[in-house]
Amino acid sequence: MPIHISQYQLFHFLRSLRYNQSIMAPQSPTTELPLTLRVSEQARLTLAERAAASGTDIAGYVSAIVEQNAQRPLSLEEISGLVYRKFMASGMTDDELSDVLETEKHEARAQRRLHHGS
């Protein structure tokens, strides 16, 4: 059974799933780690926007990023669950999936260029 999901959809699904798992994961006891970060004003603004979008402040957002980076990387199966199982059941090889995803990526980019160019 072939998988009908675009590379664009898969990429964003996996990225948001991993991000949401790290932000929403039950918190173990924490410790205060006073730091001074020196970032550009643009980086500060971007962090503030992303923090607000995730419902937290910059300190909470950066703490979640640090926690995520301190954890062992999740396997593809842990990240994607059902999507991974459907891929395994499809009989598709890694190379075939790579080709499908590459094609979908180029199609998504072409559509985005058309949409933004209009």
Do 65 and 87 share a domain, yes or no?
A: no
Do 68 and 81 share a domain, yes or no?
A: no
More confident residue, 111 or 13: 111
* Domain count within the chain: 2
Q: Which two tokens stand for residue 112?
A: 């985005």
Do 79 and 118 share a domain, yes or no?
A: yes
Q: Indicate whether 14 belongs to any domain.
A: yes
Do 95 and 69 share a domain, yes or no?
A: no
Do 68 and 79 share a domain, yes or no?
A: no
Q: Indicate whether 17 belongs to any domain.
A: yes
Do 69 and 95 share a domain, yes or no?
A: no
| Share above pLDDT 90 across residues of the chain, in percent, rounded to a whole number | 15
DSSP character string of 57-114: -HHHHHHHHHHHHHSPPPPHHHHHTHHHHHHHHHT--HHHHHHHHHHHHHHHHHHHHH
Question: Residue 64 sits in which domain range?
Answer: 38-73
Do 85 and 118 share a domain, yes or no?
A: yes
Report which of 9, 8, 10 is spatially closest to residue 110, judged by C-alpha positions.
Answer: 8
Do 47 and 69 share a domain, yes or no?
A: yes
In this prediction, residues 84-99 reach a mean pLDDT of 85
Stretch among 2-6, 14-18, 29-33, 88-92 having the lowest mean pLDDT: 2-6
The model's pTM: 0.45
Q: Indicate whether 27 belongs to any domain.
A: no
